[in-house]
Chains A and B, each alone.
Chain A
Amino acid sequence: MFKDQTAIVGIGQTSFAKSLPGSELELACQAIQLALDDAGLKPSDVDALGSFTMEHTPEFEVARNVGLGELHYFCQSPWGGGAGCGAVGQVAVALAAGVANVGVVWRSRKRGARSTRVWAGVQERITDHWKWSRPSGLVRPADECAMFTQRYMHEYGVTREQLAHVALAQREYAHKNPLAFMQSRSLTHQQYMDARMIADPLCLFDNCLETDGAIALVMVRADRAKDLRQRPAFIHAFSQGLNRQHQVNTDWHGENPLRSSSCVTAANLWRQADCGPNDVDVAQFYDAFSPLVWFSLEAYGFCEPGTAAQFVAEGGTRLGGRLPVNTSGGSLSEVYLHGLNLIVEAVRQVRGTSTAQVPDVDYSLVTACDSTPNGALLLRRK
């Protein structure tokens, strides 16, 4: 069995900024070294690596720079924001199976500059599935998310006034987090309502930050975790998810486009877990765009369909609410590192070291992007 057999035992991150000196490789090495120091492990202990297919620092460069041991397992997880939990989960499965012993997952990214945005690299002729939407001016992930959001708001009669509360709640968490990019920047409901639109109904504050930084995580099997420096965050359950008829980011060709791949991930996560949504103490939902928080609250069973907007607007995701969400400020207000920032915060909540600590966390959930093939991890203090 996979349940509770592995744990995240080290976390490391560089500073986060609009523009950092140093290459992505240099930032990756720094984050990995910090994560290993945090765990109390040596670089030579590492024999497994997991990363993103979108990661630009190859495993051999990372290994020969950081001075890792001889590697026995290395994998990559696909689709950007959907990849983080998958990368961690795949390495954890390999550790639990005994293929390797100490795993590292990292993401290093310099995308503060506009020219580095993925959509800005669109070519003159499109060969993949985006040929069916990008020629019509629907180019960025924000545009694609806006399509679902417009439909959702129409079906359930919800408003931008309510959507504002996703960004406002997360900004409040960022104010408590000295490492958050937006720690000292206030945001009012009026500022949100007056903000320039990016893709109607999404405004500037519904979009994640564009930042430079790197994050790394260290994992071992549970027996070894108990002897290390930090309180382990045991991986209680893991799943990836891909809907029938799924099409990445433009998943509107199935029967019900509002039923995302998150529903697939959630069902398989709860099937494995000793608990259900009611037992989860804190959650980090992938938030490249604020409506993804609504969609994830519903897909993972915390809210009935159509009720997440009210849940958030009434404070359900704030500290003291039924389910505190994205407690570091998340990708909207802390840093955007393709969701590894959220996994690190899920670990901090298990350790008891978040700057917005939820009392007595037993189960800590973290998910990947709702609108792509995705994944989730349910962490446990035990």
Chain B
Amino acid sequence: MIDTIPLPFTADPIDAPFWEATLRSQLVVQQCAGCQAHRFPPRPMCPQCQSLDHRWRPLSGDATVWSYTKPQPPLLPAFELLLPYVVVLAQVAEDPHIRIIGHLMSKDGGITGVDEAGLKIGAKLRVAFRQHASDVSIPGWVLVD
């Protein structure tokens, strides 16, 4: 078992621009150049119109809780050290079909023991980023009052 937090491979040309944007604290999704449909996670072809052309659309970072859970042991060692934590599935404001996983984070960027007051399905969230390596920040979600 690995001792570190597992991180995404960021050199895949299909999703490299997403990870580059996270380093600028920006959340982006693909938008089809043909039919304007959003898609996430990034993929080469639009399933609506089969176009291979797309642009990267910056999102506002506003979202709501679609669901959440609180993993408990046994976990990977690096995650056991972070307990207790909450994982949120966030539905972004711009498109109800775009849902992105992230840790529930405190306003100061913490993951462990975040105040869960107000945590419920439908609660408002705002994106935040936590840098784990020189090439990757992972988006997380902060509850908005």
Contact = CB atoms under 8 A, between A and B. Distances in A.
Interface of A: 114-115, 119-127, 129, 131-140, 142-143, 146-148, 150-151, 154, 196-201, 244-245, 247, 250, 252-255, 257
A123 B6 contact: yes
B71 A139 contact: yes
B72 A136 contact: no
Contacts of B74: 114
A146 B97 contact: no
What range describes how many residues of B lie at the interface?
A: 35 or more
Interface of B: 1-2, 4-9, 12, 15, 40-41, 47, 66-72, 74-76, 79, 82, 85, 87, 89, 97-103, 111, 121, 132, 136, 138, 140
B2 to A, nearest CB: 5
Q: Which of A114, A119, A134 has the most CB of B within 10 A?
A: A134
Nearest to B3: A124
Given A120-B1, A136-B138, A137-B85, A199 B99 contact: no
B6 A135 contact: yes
A125 B101 contact: no
Nearest to B91: A252
A135 B7 contact: yes
A143 B71 contact: yes
Contacts of A114: 74
Given A139-B79, A147-B68, 20 more contacts: A123-B6, A127-B12, A132-B41, A135-B5, A135-B132, A135-B138, A139-B6, A139-B71, A140-B75, A142-B71, A143-B69, A150-B67, A150-B121, A151-B66, A151-B89, A154-B67, A199-B70, A252-B66, A252-B67, A253-B99
A6 to B, nearest CB: 35
A253 B30 CA distance: 14
B79 A137 contact: yes
B87 A137 contact: yes
Contacts of B111: 137
A146 B5 contact: no
A200 to B, nearest CB: 4
A124 B97 contact: no
Contacts of A200: 69-70, 72
